[in-house]
Amino acid sequence: MKISERYLEDFAVGQTFGSRRLRVDKEHIKAFTLEFDPQPFHIDEEAARDTIFRGLAASGWHTAALTMRLLVESEIEPAAAHTRLHRLT
């Protein structure tokens, strides 16, 4: 069975899958948030120190987008992404 043909019930609790590693630095965090989620704790390191994060925090939208990219490139390879990704890269 191709992994992209699996349904939720085909996966087991605790089952894991790998992906490539991705390094995200503060410049990458700031670049994304300046364009898509311009909140002080994502952009301003000084302002971020006085928040619950106690420092610069990546946007949830940023981490979701990175996760999606890693998922699409992984061994799981969602069916909807399969044909499109190969045409884009």
Crossing angle, helix 60-73 and helix 79-88, to 10 degrees? 90
Predicted local distance difference test score (pLDDT) of residue 26? 94
Residue with tokens 């699996």, as numbered in its chain: 6
- State the DSSP code for 15: -
Fold classification of 25-88 is Thiol Ester Dehydrase; Chain A (3.10.129)
- The answer to whether the CB of 19 falls within 8 A of the CB of 71 is yes
Predicted local distance difference test score (pLDDT) of residue 79? 56
Predicted local distance difference test score (pLDDT) of residue 17? 84
Q: What is the CA radius of gyration of the chain?
A: 17
Q: What percent of the chain has pLDDT over 90?
A: 56
Distance CA 77, CA 61 (A): 21
Extents of the domains making up the chain: 25-88
Residue 88 has pLDDT above 60, yes or no: no
Residue 16 has pLDDT above 80, yes or no: yes
